[in-house]
A and B are shown apart, each in its own frame.
Chain A
Amino acid sequence: DAKTTQPPSMDCAEGRAANLPCNHSTISGNEYVYWYRQIHSQGPQYIIHGLKNNETNEMASLIITEDRKSSTLILPHATLRDTAVYYCIVTEWGANSKLTFGKGITLSVRP
């Protein structure tokens, strides 16, 4: 069973920020939060991950609540090419850490 809960879908306007929520209320102390996205008929693309601090890279920002029970992925300026299924995954850090993919959230960016 996936350890995360995400809404099935959301949309946003092109150029606006897309805030994708994720609940992971049973996360344990040594588990990280990972975000991947999958554009139709392609392999998943790594976006960002974090443990407890907020993280930012060239693609997105990850905001993790202080109790670590939820997080938000922020795409600051969504484009049409950001339309994809976004997966929030929690997993332990380790050489054989498995990723359990849930259903993800389908983000549709409208012109």
Chain B
Amino acid sequence: NAGVTQTPKFRVLKTGQSMTLLCAQDMNHEYMYWYRQDPGMGLRLIHYSVGEGTTAKGEVPDGYNVSRLKKQNFLLGLESAAPSQTSVYFCASSYGGRRQETQYFGPGTRLLVL
């Protein structure tokens, strides 16, 4: 099993450009999450999904959109990138529901917005 994979690993954008980050998991997990990690702030939840076709806002959703068209994939979109979105983005997945589950993390995507 590959676990959780993220594409791309690194990207540089200019302000105003758009991009999509792809997260894929092969563990048949119901729940998937997108976090951003900034120095001194730990991980902050952007959006999450509790199942195929569902999404919900997390702590810092502004400027991002997500889609979960297939159970194994969770896409994070930036429609108009801003320098404040320079960060490391992590995707995670878990069994979800009442199983208090461990989250499994991808290796991260480093995004620099100029």
Partners in one complex: no
